[in-house]
Amino acid sequence: MLSLRNPFVVDLRAIALMRMGIGALILADLLIRAPDLAVFLSDSGVWPRDVSMAYLGSERWSLYWISGHWLWSLLLFLCAGFFAICLLCGMRTRLATLMSFILLASLHNRAPLLLQGGDNLLLMLLFWGLFLPWGERFSFDAAMTREPRYQNRLFSAGGVALLLQIMSVYFFSAFLKNGAAWGSEGTGIYYALSNKQFTIGLASFWNDWLWLNKPLTHYVWWLELVGPLLAFSPLFFTQARLLVFFCFVTLEIGFLFNLSVGLFPFISIVSLLALLPTAALDRVFAPRRPVSSSLVMYYDRDCGFCVKTCYWLAYLLGLKSVTSIQPAQDHPEVGPLLEREFSWVLETADGSRYLRWQAIVVLLQHSPRAAWLARPLSLLGGAGDRLYHWIGNHRRQFGRVTALALPWRERYPRQGWVLQGVAALFAGGILWWNISTIPQWDYIHGVHTGLPSSRVSYPETLRTVKNVLRLDQKWNMFAPYPDRSDDWYFIPGITVGGDMVDVLRQKDGMPDWGQPDDYYPRPAFLLDYRWRKYLTRIGYRSNSRYRGEYGSWVCRTWNESRRGEQRLEAFNIYLFRKPTPAPGAADEPPTRRIRLWRHHCLDADRLGEDRVEKRLAQESGW
Q: What is the secondary structure of 342-366 as a DSSP string?
A: TS-EEE-TTS-EEEHHHHHHHHHHH
Q: For residue 476, is it within any domain?
A: no
Q: Are residues 253 and 350 in the same domain?
A: no
Q: Are residues 32 and 64 in the same domain?
A: yes
Q: For residue 285, is it within any domain?
A: no
pTM strictly above 0.85: yes
Q: For residue 1, is it within any domain?
A: no
Quick one: which of 457, 474, 430 has its CA closest to 164? Answer: 430
Q: What pLDDT is stored for residue 481 in this prediction?
A: 92
Q: What pLDDT is stored for residue 522 in this prediction?
A: 75
Q: Are residues 502 and 373 in the same domain?
A: no
Cα(612)–Cα(596) distance, integer angstroms: 14
Please say if the pLDDT value at position 290 is more than 90: no
Beta bridge partners of 153: 11
HSE-CB at 190 with a 13 A cutoff on CA atoms is 23
Encode pLDDT of 168-221 as tens digits.
999 999 999 998 999 999 999 999 999 988 898 899 899 989 999 999 999 999
**If you average pLDDT over residues 132-150, what whole number do you get?**
93
pLDDT confidence band for 2 (50 / 70 / 90): low
Q: Are residues 316 and 203 in the same domain?
A: no
pLDDT confidence band for 286 (50 / 70 / 90): confident
Q: Are residues 436 and 361 in the same domain?
A: no
Cα(519)–Cα(504) distance, integer angstroms: 9
pLDDT confidence band for 94 (50 / 70 / 90): very high
Q: Which domain holds residue 435?
A: 10-276+416-440+451-469
Please say if the pLDDT value at position 25 is more than 70: yes
Q: For residue 4, is it within any domain?
A: no
**If you average pLDDT over residues 349-362, what whole number do you get?**
94
Contact 195, 477 (CB under 8 A): no
Cα(270)–Cα(493) distance, integer angstroms: 43
Q: For residue 283, is it within any domain?
A: no
* H-helix segments, 262-381: 264-272, 278-284, 304-316, 334-341, 356-366, 374-378
Quick one: which of 336, 368, 373 has its CA closest to 355? Answer: 336
CA dihedral sign of residues 181, 183, 184, 188: positive
Pick from 277-286, 357-366, 490-499, 507-516: least confident: 507-516
Please say if the pLDDT value at position 353 is more than 70: yes
Q: Are residues 235 and 376 in the same domain?
A: no
Better-scored residue on pLDDT, 256 or 528: 256
Encode pLDDT of 395-442 as tens digits.
999 999 999 889 999 898 888 899 999 999 999 999 999 999 998 888
Q: For residue 282, is it within any domain?
A: no
Q: Are residues 299 and 218 in the same domain?
A: no
Better-scored residue on pLDDT, 622 or 542: 542
Cα(569)–Cα(115) distance, integer angstroms: 32
**If you average pLDDT over residues 358-367, what whole number do you get?**
94
Cα(258)–Cα(113) distance, integer angstroms: 24
Please say if the pLDDT value at position 107 is more than 90: yes
Cα(176)–Cα(169) distance, integer angstroms: 11
**If you average pLDDT over residues 272-293, what whole number do you get?**
83
**If you average pLDDT over residues 606-612, what whole number do you get?**
89
- Nearest-10 Cα torsion for 331, 333, 334, 339: 110
Q: Are residues 388 and 422 in the same domain?
A: no
The answer for residues whose C-beta is within 8 angstroms of residue 211's C-beta and 6 or more apart is none
Cα(493)–Cα(511) distance, integer angstroms: 9
Cα(589)–Cα(397) distance, integer angstroms: 70
Quick one: which of 86, 107, 108 has its CA closest to 95? Answer: 86
Q: For residue 590, is it within any domain?
A: yes
Q: Are residues 401 and 420 in the same domain?
A: no
Please say if the pLDDT value at position 292 is more than 60: no
Q: Are residues 299 and 425 in the same domain?
A: no
Cα(602)–Cα(606) distance, integer angstroms: 9
Q: For residue 184, is it within any domain?
A: yes
Q: How far does Cα 548 stand from its chain's mean position?
A: 31
Average pLDDT, the chain: 93
Q: Radius of gyration (Cα) for the chain, nearest Å?
A: 29
Q: How far does Cα 298 stand from its chain's mean position?
A: 42
Q: What pLDDT is stored for residue 1 in this prediction?
A: 55
Q: Are residues 154 and 53 in the same domain?
A: yes
Better-scored residue on pLDDT, 72 or 515: 72
Q: Are residues 370 and 456 in the same domain?
A: no
Cα(608)–Cα(613) distance, integer angstroms: 11
**If you average pLDDT over residues 313-329, what whole number do you get?**
91
Cα(271)–Cα(21) distance, integer angstroms: 8
CATH number at residue 362: 3.40.30
Beta bridge partners of 10: 154
Q: What pLDDT is stored for residue 352 in this prediction?
A: 94
* Tally of structural domains, the chain: 3
Q: What pLDDT is stored for residue 525 in this prediction?
A: 67
